[in-house]
């Protein structure tokens, strides 16, 4: 298996190299040269444990890793850092299915990939005889930052610097990051929103001169953002695992189709679902869901991507995004892998903030549907789901739930549907408790967490509980055009 660029550079590299590089030198994203077809092997995979399934799927892409290397990484990643042995359970709540992706060390779905990707990177460095230190630069809308910090902490040969938008993350997310331990971890808040932070980090990645300076200081830049193929591949696994869960519990028969409804931001999670479909997982529709920042909703319904609008801060901050980086990989597929078309669209996006699909590409969006949910609907439905089902969901998951209910109203589709649940409700306790009709003003965040636990009769996850006694270890702040000097300071260059 080789990986190629979405933008057409004639370069084919192996998985370990693609994980090290993060992004192609032509600015494109790495994609697998082709998708392995497992449609006639499903019955061999159906009963595997999460780790074994992960191995079977990843070995198809990372065939330059030895069996031992890959298994070592997988075993270290999915251990008792997760609070349930299934790692990613699909739970049936009355007639709905929720795929819970938040049982990892930071209580959000980013853990699914970020417990594994750093180990894959560490192994890749060894395999490729890289002597320099790697600097992981990450812009985060909240959950990635903490998950990446946890995943990379204290790894050899790697430093991680996380930039987060000062007012664009929840207070729990902020505390999670600012209390990060590990002697190779750095956290800086940026005055601006997530897109400011992400664009600033992207400029660094395209700054050849700066990269040269880094190189002279024995550093190589890489990214832990979901554009790294090492992030994307592990996310394919749980779509298979969830499907097999439904089979094992006799909710569906093998080969029956199901839908997935995904709360979407950077388009990484749902892209992994699409990759699973391209590999032969029986998927009917993928329902891409947004909050009030409904760029993707407009895109799927009109074929026009238009980021020219104000970013709205919502109660689902991990989805407050106007530029979904991973969409480029979808453009590559729906253009039948025509990198010239991809280049033109990306140019339009950079120059005009907007692009329009041609008729053929638009037609190829047919695996997708899209809906969005506003703040009031999210609040109402967190309450409704709790009252009716006695099941507590977070704001992001509720965007997916609400959007799915809207989808059902418009389309007669009785395909079993899995709602992808991306964060523990405790990560967003204030909004969740408020949605349940409880008083939240005049309480601090830990009182709110306690109140949520009492009210819902659910347990506070340990990683959230322990925040109460943790210390602030990082308090740096900078302007968005200062991040270069910030990096220099951190790396002592």
Ligand X SMILES: *Cc1c(COP(=O)(O)O)cnc(C)c1O
Contacts with ligand X by CB under 6 A lie at 108-110, 143, 226, 263-269, 318-319, 396, 422-423
Which pair of tokens denotes residue 420? 């992808």
Which one, of 101, 104, 106, 79, lies nearest residue 90 by Cα?
Answer: 101
Q: Please, which residues have CB within 8 angstroms of residue 426's CB and are 6 or more apart in sequence? A: 107, 172, 432, 449, 452, 460, 461, 464
Cβ atoms within 10 A of the Cβ of 181, count? 12
CB closer to ligand X out of 320 and 486: 320
Supply the minimum distance, in Å, between the C-beta of residue 63 and ligand X: 25
Q: Where are the alpha helices (DSSP H) in 261-338?
A: 268-278, 295-302, 327-334
Q: How far is CA 114 from CA 110, 111, 247, 480, in A?
A: 6, 5, 27, 25
CB closer to ligand X out of 65 and 401: 401
CB closer to ligand X out of 214 and 418: 418
Per DSSP (E only), the strands in 63-132 are 90-93, 96-100
Supply the minimum distance, in Å, between the C-beta of residue 266 and ligand X: 3
Supply the minimum distance, in Å, between the C-beta of residue 33 and ligand X: 23
Q: Please, which residues have CB within 8 angstroms of residue 399's CB and are 6 or more apart in sequence? A: 263, 289, 290, 291, 316, 319, 372, 373, 378
* Consecutive H or E run containing 136: strand 133-139
Which pair of tokens denotes residue 347? 């140019």
The residue count for the chain: 493
- Torsion angle (degrees, nearest 10) of CA 170, 175, 181, 185: 50
Supply the minimum distance, in Å, between the C-beta of residue 318 and ligand X: 3
Per DSSP (E only), the strands in 152-293 are 158-165, 185-191, 219-223, 258-263, 283-290
Q: Rounded to an integer, what distance in angstroms lies between the CA atom of residue 120 and that of residue 226? A: 14
Supply the minimum distance, in Å, between the C-beta of residue 62 and ligand X: 20
Supply the minimum distance, in Å, between the C-beta of residue 420 and ligand X: 8
CB closer to ligand X out of 3 and 267: 267
CB closer to ligand X out of 82 and 267: 267
Q: Rounded to an integer, what distance in angstroms lies between the CA atom of residue 139 and that of residue 224? A: 9
Supply the minimum distance, in Å, between the C-beta of residue 400 and ligand X: 9
Q: Rounded to an integer, what distance in angstroms lies between the CA atom of residue 311 and that of residue 346? A: 20
Supply the minimum distance, in Å, between the C-beta of residue 316 and ligand X: 7
CB closer to ligand X out of 178 and 264: 264
Q: State phi, psi for 37 to the nearest 5 degrees.
A: -100, 115
What's the Rg (C-alpha) of the chain?
A: 21
Q: Please, which residues have CB within 8 angstroms of residue 476's CB and are 6 or more apart in sequence? A: 186, 187, 188, 189, 486
Which one, of 360, 325, 361, lies nearest residue 346 by Cα?
Answer: 325
Residue whose tokens read 């709540």: 93
Whether 153 is a known active-site residue: answer: no
Supply the minimum distance, in Å, between the C-beta of residue 127 and ligand X: 27
Q: Which residue is catalytic, options 14, 110, 379, 480?
A: 110
Cβ atoms within 10 A of the Cβ of 266, count? 23
CB closer to ligand X out of 8 and 118: 118
Cβ atoms within 10 A of the Cβ of 42, count? 17
CB closer to ligand X out of 17 and 315: 315
CB closer to ligand X out of 172 and 319: 319
**Which residues belong to the active site?**
110
């Amino acid at each position: 298996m080789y990986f190629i660029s979405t933008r057409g550079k004639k370069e084919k590299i192996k998985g370990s190299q693609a994980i090290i590089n993060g992004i192609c030198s032509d600015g494109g994203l790495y994609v697998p040269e082709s998708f392995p077809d497992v449609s006639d092997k499903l019955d061999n995979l159906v009963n595997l444990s999460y780790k074994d399934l992960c191995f079977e799927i990843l070995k198809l892409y990372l065939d330059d890793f030895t069996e031992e290397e890959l298994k070592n990484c997988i075993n270290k990643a999915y251990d008792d850092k997760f609070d349930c042995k299934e790692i990613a359970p699909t739970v049936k709540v009355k007639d709905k299915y929720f795929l819970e992706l938040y049982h990892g060390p930071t209580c959000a779905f980013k853990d699914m990939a970020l417990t594994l990707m750093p180990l894959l990177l560490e192994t890749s460095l060894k395999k490729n005889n890289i002597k320099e230190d790697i600097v992981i630069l990450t812009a985060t809308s909240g959950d990635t930052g903490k998950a990446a910090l946890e995943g990379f902490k204290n790894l050899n040969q790697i430093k991680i610097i996380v930039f987060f938008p000062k007012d664009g993350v929840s207070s729990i997310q902020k505390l999670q990051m600012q209390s990060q331990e590990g002697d190779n971890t750095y956290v800086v808040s940026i005055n601006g929103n997530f897109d400011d932070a992400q664009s600033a980090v992207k400029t660094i990645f395209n700054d050849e001169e700066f990269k040269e300076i880094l190189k002279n200081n024995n550093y190589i830049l890489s990214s832990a953002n979901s554009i790294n193929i090492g992030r994307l591949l592990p996310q394919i696994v749980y779509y298979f695992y969830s499907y097999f869960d439904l089979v094992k519990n006799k909710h569906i028969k093998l080969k029956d189709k199901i839908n997935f409804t995904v709360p979407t931001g950077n388009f990484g999670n749902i892209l992994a679902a699409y990759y699973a479909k391209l590999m032969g997982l029986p998927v009917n529709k993928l329902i891409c869901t947004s909050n009030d920042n409904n760029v993707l909703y407009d895109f799927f319904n009109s074929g026009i991507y238009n980021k020219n609008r104000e970013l709205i801060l919502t109660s689902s901050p991990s989805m407050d995004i106007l530029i979904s980086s991973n969409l480029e990989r979808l453009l590559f597929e729906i253009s039948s892998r025509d990198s010239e078309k991809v280049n033109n669209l990306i140019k339009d996006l950079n120059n005009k903030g907007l692009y329009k699909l041609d008729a053929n590409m638009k037609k190829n969006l047919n695996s997708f549907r899209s809906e969005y949910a506003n703040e009031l609907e999210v609040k109402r439905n967190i309450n409704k789901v709790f009252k009716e089902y006695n099941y507590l969901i977070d704001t992001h998951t509720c965007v997916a739930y609400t959007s799915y209910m809207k989808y059902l109203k418009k389309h007669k589709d009785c395909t079993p549907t899995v709602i992808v649940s991306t964060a523990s409700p405790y990560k967003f306790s204030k909004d969740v408790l408020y949605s349940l009709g409880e008083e939240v003003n005049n309480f601090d965040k830990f009182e709110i967490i306690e109140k949520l636990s009492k009210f819902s009769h659910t347990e506070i996850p340990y990683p959230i509980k322990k925040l109460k006694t943790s210390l602030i270890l990082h308090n740096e702040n900078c302007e968005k055009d200062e991040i270069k000097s910030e990096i220099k300071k951190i790396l002592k260059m």
